[in-house]
Structure 1
Amino acid sequence: MTQSRVLATSLFADIVGYTDLMQRDEASAMEKLDQFKSSLEREIPKHGGEIIQYFGDGCLALFSSAFEAISCARKLQQQWGLVDKLPVRIGVHLGDVIRKDDNVYGDSVNVASRIESMGIPNSILLSDSIRNSIKNHPELRFQLLGNFEFKNVSEPIAVYALDTDHLEIPDPASVTGKLAVKAKKRSTRLRRFGIVALIIVAILAYDYFEENSKSKETKEIASSIAVLPFTNLSQDTDQDYLTAGFTSEVNHQLSKIESLSVVSQTITQQLVSQQKSSPEIAEELDVNYILEGTIKSAGERTRLITNLTRMTDNKLIWSEEFDLSEINLIDAQIQVSTG
């Protein structure tokens, strides 16, 4: 019996809803499983990977290169999403694994499995260790979903969705999977954040960014905006998942406004990490507007302040404060629908 520890990229993939399909139409389910395995066995070796084990409708593979693992995942999702119409989700993580004979073990494998469980059909989710390894490839774009706590994993892990090739992006406020109990208790707060994001975008769309804008502040249709990462003012760094998830949700909702060009969240985050000011970011990105804000949690209360600045004259044209603890989900949904 031989045993070794190596740094490797673990890739998990499985067919979403396979059990239900098997109960409804066994022949169709078996056909899809054959397509699934055929694609894996064709593409994984091309990218220097190795299939370790099948788990019913799931598969674990290892790669020596994080970039090749992501390239393989992209190729597979193109095949499954566009040709085979297979609802597959993929999770990828980089870390130490223990190889013993023909099997692999270790926290890295478990993390990849848990990240994969958060996915939706036609999505590729990855950990921060993967993103850090491949972030210098300009053709790859990422959307931060937040920091998540997983069962039997000691530290929260930042999870990203690959935002390339028409892949699907999970809603950060609705993410489910093999999360720790504490993380599941956050779901109500995250749903409230999602509703607040919708309210903010509805207000901005109606007053500033749509062609029928009634605002006296803007005589032209806003052409471009950058959403800066919201700042966590709480002493508890565990609240970073709130700010990341909220920023991602606002960015996603703004991108639905046809008359507005929204800068990629990844690009904006890179500029902020370089300690650049809002005017510097606006100039470099050539945007008309900057949306930024702060989030502060104390006990069960969470306050959120948002500011919209017109960068052509550096004028604050809209600001609003929300108390998340006072947001009623049903009332908020009505407020969004009625403008």
Structure 2
Amino acid sequence: MSDKPQRRLAAIFVLDVSGFSRLMAEDEAGTLNQVLAQQQSLIAPAIRSHEGRIIKLMGDGVLAIFPSVISAVEAAAGIQAAAARNRHLQLRIGITLGEVLIAQGDIYGDDVNIAARLEALAPLGGVALSAEAYGQVRGRIPYAFEDLGLHEVKNIPEPVRVYVLSEELTSLPSLHPVAAPVKAVRAASASRRRAGGPVWLALAAFTALAAAGGGWWAAGMPGLHGAGQAASGAEQTRPLVAVLPFTAASASPELALAVTGEVIRALAAVPGLAVVAPASSRAAAGLPPDQAARLLGTEFLVSGHMPAAPLQGIRLDIRSPSGQAALPPRPQSSLSRLGPAAAADILTSFSQPLADAAAMPPVPDQALMQLLAARSNLASGRPQEARLALEQALQLAPGLTRAKVLQAELGLDLLTGPLASLPQRSAKAAQRLEGLPETPGTLRIRALAAQFSGAPDMALTHARTLERSFPNDADGHLLRAWLLQMEGQGAAAEAAYATALRLNPVPPALYRSLRASMLFDAGQEEAAVASASEALALEPRAQLAQAVLCAGLATLGRFDEAGSACAQLQAEGLTLDQAAGAFPYGAGAGPGSALQRLRTGFSLAGLPGRP
């Protein structure tokens, strides 16, 4: 992991418990328990579910960053509403939008100080926004803010205008939105009725698709430091294109987001373009073009709008350093054709060859709806609902490969599934996909299963096929980086990892977890511990990161911390052999090898078994 500081535009979120010092003086142990319970059960899950990244937990407070102000405000509103309903400790939250300097897992900059000052100005149970943050949400979310005017704040030369959201959060059992004009509501409803299909009515009920994406890891979080070196020269020559989340006049926002993901997935096999992954694309939702370009590291932006019923097509706007072009919407016969048709328009605009449309059989609209619902449920932490939706999708379309792949990924769960059965789960996932065509999902699972079965050459063969056939699959490059590092090919692993981050500059949570494993393998225990800690701050159930943290701390001689880190693994009855088995090294296990250092670390930390 590079130690070079990075600058990033982010929504900065500061939360604090009101009256903490007084409460501690009255009941130190009880107050501390309440604070920790509130952080674990309410605050951290709400931040993670809105794609936020926890930078630090500060006793009575939390510092986090979000990819957009809208996600930060929605997380804050949800936290305050739940705290009021459940009689938790009272909180204040401040949010601003600005550029931060990210270094060594922390963030710096004047805007961090502004967010802290805003938190102090927020009413009890309320949220305070700067003018910059308010400008991003005004008229776009269903909450009413009060303008408190300009305020002088400590160490900031210019006064800060403050907007607050307060009374409705604490006085009602749930948030009440600002009422939309009756005329607009009726027009939208009439338009949806004209679209006619139960397809659109059902899709309007889907939620959290913004977090569903194409990540095969079954979880996602933004904000990882850069890879240790730049992507290869050949990779850098491919123009990087970001397809930003589409908007819609009459269709549901969830449908527009879902179609955006379909467009990006349809571009996975294009060799002449590098395409930003869905998770990072969603992180730029609602940002002005210049800010989106800075966040994603590209000057090529594609935005889309559905001006009428979805089957009437998508109007595309393509922005590049040489100017801007608009493409009119093209009507389609089915929902499954919207994404490929828009992808074809994008390819034409960039003078790239078109994919063979005949090779992509249409999917019944109802089956596609269930597939999208499964992705949504999985990203929202509802695996049982996701399984049910996938079963329904396959009843409607028994040959739907994407649904079968998602079923296999759900069973695999590399991020939060138990380490003890990871080799067996990878083999079972591969068996479920036998006979299916080569897709990004099938190739990733086959590569992983081959590595766990002791066939590293076959694993890398699958990973390289994935690289050639689907050069825009960011998760494929991540997997290839991990496999290369396991085989002792450190330089090639770093190049593959850099490519993964170029395609996914605001990457999902497992990137931190696998990066921690790679760093431990390379003998960089301090950096491995830092990366594993970041992963666990975002997803406490990330067992691979927990294992790296446990072994890394022990290797560094920090035995008390290592014992605490391993306590959760020990509580689940994990043995040393089972923990080591989740790291399928194929490049030797002699004295001084990464596998031997890992086993020694586990033993020193207290896992039962012979090192």
| Structure with a larger share of its residues in helix | 2
Shorter-chain TM-score bucket reads 0.3 to 0.5
Please tell me whether Structure 1 or Structure 2 has the larger radius of gyration of its CA atoms.
2
Give the TM-score normalised by the residue count of structure 1. 0.48
Q: Higher strand proportion, which one?
A: 1
- Normalising by structure 2, we get a TM-score of 0.27
